[in-house]
Amino acid sequence: MKIHLVANNRRALAAFLTALLVLPACVLFAQDTPPLAKPGKYSGRNISGELVRDSSVNISQLASAPTAQASSAGAEIRSHREDALRPPIHDSGPVVDRAPAASAAAAAAGPTPSFRGFTGLTHLQQRTARNGNQFSTEPPDQGLAVGNGLILEAVNSALNVYDSNGVQQLPRPLALSEFFGLPPGINRTTGFNGVFPGDPVALFDPETERWFVAAWAQLNTATGVGLQQSRLYLAVSQTSDPTGTYSIYTLNTTLAHDPDQGGPRIPDFPHFAVDHYGLYISINEFNITPEGNFDGFIDAAILAISKNDLINGTGGSFPRVVRFPLTSSSGFEFTVFPAYTPPGGGPLLANGGTQFFVSSHFVTTNENTMAIWALTNTSSLDSAMPNLDLRAVVVEVQPFHFPTIAAVQKKGFHPLGESLNEPVEKLDQGDFRVISATYSSGRLWATLSSQMLDTAGAPRIVCDYFAFSPKINGPFFTATLVTQGVVSKPGASLLYPAIAVNAQQKGGIVFTLVGPNDYPSAAFVPVNNNSVGSIQIARAGNEPEDGFTGYPEFGGNGVARWGDYSAAAIDTDGVIWMATEYTPDIARTSFANWCTYITRLQP
């Protein structure tokens, strides 16, 4: 969710933001715990003709072209607050599980892994892209795609391309608005609002050597008032060069043309994956009120798109698309995360082509089940009448708990907060939706955040990981738990984990590490088959997070927005790349100081 705050409207919007931040805590007090319902089979609807290819863009040429200097006038900011965008959840009692004293199986880690990295996109770069015709945004939503030794990073409303040493491959970072052929988020000379895409995700397909970038936006008036209109934007490279030409597709997601009677909606939290035949985008849909605000979860949905149509243009300007609405009947139909497949790890061609997804049970504050989803017969996306089958099974796993306690960070220099006479902020803890998934060589991995107690009985945020073995035999679909564990650190919280595992079952789990003795830092654990190693600090933070979202003067309540997701991917040589947020002591804007760090882990 993105909120545009204009200086003379701050007081009214501050009250609105405070209400949003309080909402998740309020719904936790509901006492009725529904019985467990299981997901089943879901029907899709052919919506071919609604995803439209309407332009193309060469991003190297775009980044090289001169642009007019923006006026420095205006103090408008924009903030992501997806922590409020979730279904209601029922309080099922206090957390009773205790976290391990250190990361699970660390004793088997062996020698220290070989890793290096570099700072990726920063808040300063994102804010000053397109000559400053951008809003400030928090948190840094992280998109990451790697292939052939190149890295494409998309964060909030900007993107960049690097080589494996961190050397920038574009003349300058690009705003997502110009990448998708949209007017700037804010014209700082005229004050007019344009389109502000966000929640970006990026992907490299090793089979076709094509690059994909997606983001969504709510449309608004020229004065920044939200409309009951939303769009999903998709860019597909025309060659293997991530700095070259992309085809741009647009999907009007306002009503989704589905008989759910949910009304105008946004496609929140998009994530995608590819198999041999298709591109699969998972979204959460929330209602847009007549006033332009977001109010009420409608359902999750999966869009299955013909990859052949996207890449080769066989569908003309209208690729074949099947939409699966996932009604909220069992509690598993929220953030149904698509599984990324690394080079050499698939894809699964059986059953006419198969794509897997993972979701957590999202009903009570204490859960111990997850759903494994299989979308089969994906090869039919290349037929005149696609006929895909979507079904899910439930697997019992270790208990995981809804995070309710914000993460404390080390005190330090925070100039924005000090100018407001405010203390150092805490960091938002997120929730326990699945926030990464990888399918590699028959094993399906996933991560989520959980709240547990340390040895002193104090709550902190930990990383849960799981690996499943899904099997499909005709009409029979089963999934068994292969391994699971908890990654934790005494006295610190681990926020927004993401996993990637290569074809040899070696990989990493990346997250932000923060605590009373730690500034927000980029950290990870290596993965080796069934075990994880000890926590490694890829890049330590140098100061506390000091962004506007936590301060009362900007509608906050002392808890700053942090990342809604990190990212991890595997290069074509099997090397693991991971990206997450941290706070170094480098050039910043007055409104925020977050940066991203991209880590290369040699398996």
Per-residue model confidence as pLDDT tens digits over 391-405: 999 999 999 999 999
Is the pLDDT at 107 greater than 60? The verdict is no
* CA atoms of 288 and 228, how far apart (whole Å): 6
CB 493 within 8 A of CB 460: yes
Percent of the chain whose pLDDT exceeds 70: 90
Mean pLDDT for 269-276 is 97
Whether 76 is covered by a domain: the verdict is: no
| Mean predicted confidence (pLDDT) in 585-602 | 97
Check residue 254 and give its pLDDT: 95
pLDDT(20) > 90: no
The candidate with the shortest Cα–Cα distance to 170, out of 178, 179, 162, 181, is 162
pLDDT digits (tens, 9 = 90+) for 296-344: 999 999 999 999 999 998 888 999 999 999 987 899 999 999 999 999 9
CB-side neighbour CA atoms (13 Å) of 400: 29
In a domain, 75, yes or no: no
Phi, psi angles (nearest 5°) of residue 340: -70, 135
CA distance 283 to 359: 12
The upper half-sphere exposure of residue 554, i.e. CA atoms within 13 Å in the direction of its Cβ, equals 30
Q: Do the Cβ atoms of 240 and 210 come closer than 8 Å?
A: yes
Backbone Cα Rg of the chain: 22
**Domain encompassing residue 211:** 2-63+89-602
- Residue 35 banded pLDDT, cuts 50, 70, 90: low
Tell me the sheet residues that pair with 513: 494, 521
Spatial distance between the Cα atoms of 27 and 88, rounded to a whole number of angstroms:
6
Q: What is the pLDDT of residues 510-540, one digit of tens each?
A: 999 999 999 999 999 999 999 999 999 999 9
Residue 79 falls inside a structural domain: no
Residue 164, in any domain of the structure: yes
User: For 22-26, what is the mean pLDDT?
Assistant: 31
Please give the model's pTM, rounded to 2 decimal places: 0.93
CA distance 145 to 173: 16
| 412 within some domain | yes
Determine, yes or no, domain membership for 199: yes
Q: How confident is the model at residue 23 (pLDDT cuts 50, 70, 90)?
A: very low
Q: How many structural domains is the chain composed of?
A: 1
- Phi, psi of 22, rounded to the nearest 5 degrees: -75, -30
**Residue 14 falls inside a structural domain:** yes
Contact 213, 156 (CB under 8 A): no
Q: What is the pLDDT of the chain when averaged over all its residues?
A: 90
Decide if 9 contacts 76 (C-beta within 8 A).
Answer: no
130 burial type by CB count under 10 A (0-12 exposed, 13-18 middle, 19+ buried): buried
- Do the domain assignments include residue 78? no
- Whether the pLDDT of residue 509 is over 50: the answer is yes
Residue with tokens 């391990």: 100
